[in-house]
Structure 1
Amino acid sequence: MTTVELTRFRVLPEKTEELLAARADMVKDFEADRAGFLGARLVRLPDNEWLDIVDWATPENFAASREKGANLPGIARFFAAIDALVIAEEGVSEA
């Protein structure tokens, strides 16, 4: 089992390219700085909304990552492109 972070957010249309350009650096920063980071998928939804699906080895890894916030430049750039948080949830992958 792994911990799954589900974050749905809005991005203004004029910031979409900025978000996508920052994505690779955000993932690199997570790989370098976040223990237990297993990978991430970004899904474009209707109405300028996005879903970020991030897999963590344990709930403790996810909690530690949340405490760090946007502590590295790639992560900060990605977060800065987000206009509004819709919902953030945590679950467990059974498969």
Structure 2
Amino acid sequence: MMKKTLAIALTPVILLTACSGMSNSQQRELSGAAIGAAAGAGIVAIAGGTAIWGAVGGAAVGAVGGYAYDKYEKSKQQEYNSGYQAGKATQ
């Protein structure tokens, strides 16, 4: 029992330190997958199914959502940069 409790306590620490060298894109996709896995497991468990399949499906959907959000943020930054450059050119 003590080993299981220790493993559960250390898991978030290990996961957070593993993300330190990731790019913004990778962090967004991983965050989406993690949120999707938790939501999928919770919803399927409440519905009475096997939580692992909900976690797998939720992780897949969440990763795609994180990827789409990353593309949106990059396009927003690109538009800002092009507007900034255009504004500098008129001065």
Fold shared per TM-score above 0.5: no
Q: Which has the higher contact order (CA 8 A, sep 6+)?
A: 1
User: What is the TM-score with the length of structure 1 in the denominator?
Assistant: 0.30
User: What is the TM-score with the length of structure 2 in the denominator?
Assistant: 0.31
Structure with the higher helix share, 1 or 2: 2
Structure with the higher strand share, 1 or 2: 1
Greater Rg over alpha carbons, structure: 2
